[in-house]
Amino acid sequence: MKHSQDEVKEWLQKARLDLFSATILLEHDPPVPETAAFHCQQAVDKTLKALLVWVNVPFEKVHSLTYLLDLGEVEFPDLTSLRENVEELAPYAVEIRYPSEMLEISSAEAGESLDTAKEVWRFVLKLLPPDLHFSLPENRPE
């Protein structure tokens, strides 16, 4: 069985790559806001799961940010401050990925999603010990 600290690092590394991907997609010419927004949702999902793993809170394999916040708020009530912005990312998990559910997302909206994902990242890192911290990538992460 994996030590929870190793699993936390794995979740954070995956979240970090999603943040990096979203950044690249928004900086691309032309930007790709729908896919960037998806990666922002995924980054928040994985960041919250890292926090839950750290405090040994089991969770189902779902992509519901509301569900993950509900679980996390039991241990960390201050997560409530993120709820409104985080819940705005919920449609980006599934709806934008399929033609029948295509949402129009502007680059500005995707940029706000990236801001939210980074806010969640910074919030969660403050709750974790320093040896679990990763910086946000400015360039391609190694």
C-alpha 73/C-alpha 34 separation (Å) is 29
Q: 85 and 39 in contact (C-beta within 8 Å)?
A: no
Angle subtended at Cα 54 by Cα 41 and Cα 12, rounded to the nearest 5 degrees? 40
In the structure, what pLDDT confidence band is assigned to residue 1 with cuts at 50, 70 and 90?
A: very low
In a domain, 136, yes or no: no
Which pLDDT score, from 0 to 100, does residue 102 have? Answer: 59
Residue 54, in any domain of the structure: yes
The residue segments making up the domain with residue 33 are: 4-126
- DSSP states along 27-68: HSSS--HHHHHHHHHHHHHHHHHHHHHHTT----S---HHHH
- If one compares 35 and 141, the residue with the highest pLDDT of the two is 35
Mean confidence (pLDDT) of the chain: 89
Least confident of 36-45, 57-66, 96-105: 96-105
Give the model confidence (pLDDT) of 89-142 as tens digits: 998 887 666 666 556 889 999 999 999 999 999 999 999 998 888 766 554 443
Inside any domain, residue 110:
yes
- pLDDT value of position 140: 43
Domain assignment present for 30? yes
**Residue 81 falls inside a structural domain:** yes
Inside any domain, residue 139: no
Identify the CATH number of the domain in which residue 71 sits: 1.20.120.330
CB 50 within 8 A of CB 15: yes
Q: Which two tokens stand for residue 137?
A: 């990538």
**Domain assignment present for 34:** yes
C-alpha 50/C-alpha 15 separation (Å) is 9
The pair of structure tokens assigned to 33 is: 């806001």
The model's confidence at residue 43, banded by pLDDT at 50, 70 and 90, is very high
Could you tell me if residue 138 is inside a domain?
Answer: no
77-91 pLDDT tens trace: 999 999 999 999 998
pLDDT at 78: 96
Q: Which of the four pLDDT bands, split at 50, 70 and 90, describes residue 74? A: very high
- pLDDT for residue 9 is more than 60: yes
Domain tally for the chain? 1
